[in-house]
């Protein structure tokens, strides 16, 4: 296994060495931007933690409660990430057939793939919680030893979280080698996970964070002191950090031992288990769907006979059929439905009891909905270009305009993205009892916004394509994905800024008869918004066409 790991390391070093010219520059820009974002994150965490530290008597309790919640959330996010990634790394990696042909035991291959899964599913989350830990150090005045203890403990912490996903994928593939059953179980698992998520949110945990909701102060204090998910390794992780910060080294060693001991034990157990199960599970994963799909004349070919649009409609048809038959989309759509329910429920649960606050939130809601739409577009629309994969040559050698290929993608994905954003905004507005002006304005803005974000997703997906990708989730976390998210978030913020003036003017007029509603302010904002939306979409789309035309693979 060490030999395989060594070659993996050598490949990584070679990849870095081969970064030249524009690729090197892009990586450098990406690293600098990421670094600044981490600094921003650090400053935000610092502000929150300073505020909590300032609360008399219970400041430290609040900080550690928040920390334990951050670690529980990160833990569960690594679990979800590993659930998605492990299926590819364990069963569909390009090198697996080669590795299985080598005189290497299957537990060694499995060990190597487990370590890859742990790395891919946890590195970004570990990087993101790093600014939190640094802010924690700064606020509490902890020394460098605290950071060292964090680095020491984060390895088994991430490992234990990621291994849950690995176990699930291994057992799923072992017990359900038949592709149809496996797909059904995969969907049911996503459904169960979503239900648990929705149920947790509907239990209104925010009540516990607000002392006024609990009535008795003693209940609040006991909540703060109680462990957060005591049986999860995230709690051992929190306790070990608390022990280190309080110089309680025996406790620190105890919890460190728990983390490392259970990691090694679990890894050892998994390797033993893999000797009995991995080969069978891998063989099962190679089985293919033998179902027959009898051809029905699709509406794209039946009703629309415009010769000029034939290629566009053919690409639309291909995309529709692919999404319809790829089971991975279904599990993620279930998760998105759960996310939307939680989103709307969270808006409904906001403690807003006056008209102004509700309308203010209704306005802010447009931007937040824009962020959510960006995240969804990153998963489905941005990746749709790279997901052409090895079949990209079909598009490249066909007598079609790249514009038509991109329009097909755009039209196909814009429809569900638009409906999703409309549901988020309209239902939220309904619960917020938004003013008719705000309702109309937010519906108009989100219509344009969802279109522009879809164009951005298709555009940046084309500017940063990777047709040799092994796992589509690597496309999401690539620098192209990062730049798309940054551009979309920036666009949402600009939109909010543009409309803040007419919206403020409107509410001033509503409550103060001395003010007059300045229609020109609203129309100017609408004009500026439309110009920015059009120009940015046009620019990104043109760049996308140019990029795909000149793309060589």
Partner 1 sequence: MLKIENLTKKFGNFTAVDSVNLDIKEGEVFGFLGPNGAGKTTTVKIISGILKPTSGSVSIDGIDVINNPIESKKMISYIPDEPFVYPYLTAREFLRFIAEVYKIENYNDKIDELLSFFGLLDYADLLLSSYSHGMKQKLLIASVVLRNPKVMLFDEPTVGLDPLSVKKFKELIKRLTLAGTSVFMCTHILEMAEKICDQVAVINKGKIIASGKVKDIIGHDKDKNLEDVFLELTS
Binding site residues, partner 1, CB under 8 A? 20, 288-295, 300-301, 307, 310-311, 313-315, 317-318, 321-322, 324-326, 389-394, 396-401, 550, 552-553
Which two tokens mark 406? Answer: 């991109």
Least Å distance, CB 386 to partner 1, is: 14
Output 290 or 354, the one with its CB closest to partner 1. Answer: 290
Output 247 or 550, the one with its CB closest to partner 1. Answer: 550
Q: Nearest 5 degrees, angle CA 468-CA 472-CA 475?
A: 80
Output 17 or 324, the one with its CB closest to partner 1. Answer: 324
Least Å distance, CB 180 to partner 1, is: 12
Least Å distance, CB 21 to partner 1, is: 8
Which two tokens mark 449? Answer: 């916004």
Least Å distance, CB 4 to partner 1, is: 25
Sign for the pseudo-dihedral over CA of 397, 398, 404, 405: negative
Least Å distance, CB 520 to partner 1, is: 47
Output 195 or 321, the one with its CB closest to partner 1. Answer: 321
Sign for the pseudo-dihedral over CA of 207, 209, 211, 215: positive
Least Å distance, CB 291 to partner 1, is: 7
Closest CA to 448 of 500, 499, 403, 482: 499
**CA terminus-to-terminus distance, the chain:** 33
Contact assessment for residue 75 and residue 157, using Cβ atoms and an 8 Å cutoff: yes
Output 283 or 553, the one with its CB closest to partner 1. Answer: 553
Output 512 or 550, the one with its CB closest to partner 1. Answer: 550
Torsion of CA 533, 536, 537, 540, to 10 degrees: -170
Output 184 or 275, the one with its CB closest to partner 1. Answer: 184
Output 215 or 399, the one with its CB closest to partner 1. Answer: 399
Output 179 or 474, the one with its CB closest to partner 1. Answer: 179
How far is it, in rounded angstroms, from Cα 73 to Cα 234? 9
Contact assessment for residue 263 and residue 153, using Cβ atoms and an 8 Å cutoff: no
Half-sphere exposure for 129 (CA within 13 Å, toward CB):
23
Least Å distance, CB 470 to partner 1, is: 14
Output 11 or 305, the one with its CB closest to partner 1. Answer: 305
Least Å distance, CB 190 to partner 1, is: 19
Q: Is 116 exposed, middle or buried (0-12, 13-18, 19+ CB in 10 A)?
A: buried
Least Å distance, CB 130 to partner 1, is: 37
Please give the full DSSP string across 40-64, using - where no structure is assigned. HHHHHHHHHHHHHHTSTTTHHHHHH
Closest CA to 118 of 159, 76, 157, 156: 159
Least Å distance, CB 301 to partner 1, is: 6
Output 106 or 300, the one with its CB closest to partner 1. Answer: 300
Output 2 or 288, the one with its CB closest to partner 1. Answer: 288
How far is it, in rounded angstroms, from Cα 189 to Cα 481? 27
Least Å distance, CB 166 to partner 1, is: 24
Half-sphere exposure for 132 (CA within 13 Å, toward CB):
15
Max distance between CA atoms of the chain, in angstroms, equals 85
Least Å distance, CB 389 to partner 1, is: 7
Sequence-ordered list of residues with C-beta below 8 angstroms from that of 370, at least 6 positions apart, any chain = 421, 446, 449, 453, 488, 489, 491, 492, 495
Least Å distance, CB 507 to partner 1, is: 51
Output 295 or 511, the one with its CB closest to partner 1. Answer: 295
CB neighbours (10 Å) of residue 55?
A: 12
Sequence-ordered list of residues with C-beta below 8 angstroms from that of 68, at least 6 positions apart, any chain = 227, 228, 234, 235, 238
CB neighbours (10 Å) of residue 83?
A: 23
Please give the full DSSP string across 317-353, using - where no structure is assigned. HHHHHHHHH-HHHHHHHHHHHHHHHHHHHHHHTS---
């Amino acid at each position: 296994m060490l030999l395989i790991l060594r070659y993996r390391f050598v490949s990584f070093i070679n990849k870095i060495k081969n970064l030249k010219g524009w690729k090197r520059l892009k990586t450098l820009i990406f690293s600098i931007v990421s670094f600044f974002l981490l600094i921003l994150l650090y400053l935000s965490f610092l502000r929150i933690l300073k505020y909590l530290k300032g609360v008399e008597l219970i400041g430290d309790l609040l900080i550690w409660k928040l920390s334990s919640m951050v670690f529980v959330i990160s833990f569960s996010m690594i679990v979800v990430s590993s659930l998605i990634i492990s299926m590819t790394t364990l069963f569909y990696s390009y090198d697996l057939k080669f590795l299985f042909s080598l005189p290497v035991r299957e537990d060694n291959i499995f060990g190597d793939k487990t370590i890859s899964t742990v790395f891919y599913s946890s590195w970004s989350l570990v990087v993101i919680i790093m600014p939190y830990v640094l802010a924690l150090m700064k606020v509490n005045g902890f020394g460098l030893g605290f950071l060292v203890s964090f680095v020491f403990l984060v390895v088994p912490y991430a490992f234990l979280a990621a291994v849950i996903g690995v176990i699930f994928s291994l057992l799923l593939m072992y017990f359900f080698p038949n592709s149809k059953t496996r797909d059904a179980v995969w969907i049911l698992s996503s459904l169960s996970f979503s239900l648990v998520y929705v149920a947790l949110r509907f239990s209104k945990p925010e009540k516990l964070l607000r002392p006024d909701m609990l009535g008795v102060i003693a209940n609040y204090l006991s909540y703060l002191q109680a462990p957060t998910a005591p049986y999860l390794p995230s709690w051992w992780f929190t306790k070990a950090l608390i022990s280190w910060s309080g110089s309680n080294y025996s406790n620190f060693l105890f919890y460190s031992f728990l983390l490392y001991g259970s990691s090694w034990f679990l890894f050892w157990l998994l390797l033993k288990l893999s000797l009995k199960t991995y080969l069978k599970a891998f063989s099962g994963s190679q089985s293919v769907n033998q179902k027959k799909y009898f051809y029905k004349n699709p509406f794209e070919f039946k009703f629309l006979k415009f010769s000029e649009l034939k290629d566009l409609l053919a690409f639309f048809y291909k995309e529709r059929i692919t999404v319809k038959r790829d089971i991975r989309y279904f599990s993620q759509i279930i998760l998105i439905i759960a996310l939307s329910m939680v989103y709307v429920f969270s808006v409904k649960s906001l403690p807003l009891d006056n008209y102004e606050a509700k309308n203010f939130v209704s306005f802010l809601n447009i931007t937040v909905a824009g962020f959510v739409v960006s995240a969804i577009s990153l998963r489905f629309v941005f990746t749709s270009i790279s997901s052409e994969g090895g079949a990209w040559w079909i598009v490249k050698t066909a007598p079609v305009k790249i514009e038509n290929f991109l329009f097909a993608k755009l039209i196909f994905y814009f429809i569900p993205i638009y409906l999703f954003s409309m549901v988020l905004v309209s239902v939220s507005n309904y619960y917020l009892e938004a003013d008719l002006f705000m309702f109309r304005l937010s519906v108009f803005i989100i219509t344009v916004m969802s279109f522009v974000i879809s164009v951005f997703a298709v555009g940046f997906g084309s500017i940063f394509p990777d047709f040799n990708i092994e796992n589509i989730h690597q496309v999401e976390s690539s620098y192209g994905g990062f730049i798309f998210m940054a551009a979309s978030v920036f666009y949402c913020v600009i939109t909010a800024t543009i409309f803040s003036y007419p919206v403020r003017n409107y509410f001033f007029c509503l409550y103060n008869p001395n003010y007059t509603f300045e229609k020109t302010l609203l129309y100017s904002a609408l004009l500026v918004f439309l110009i920015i939306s059009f120009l940015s979409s046009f620019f990104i789309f043109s760049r996308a066409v140019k990029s795909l035309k000149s793309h060589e693979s």
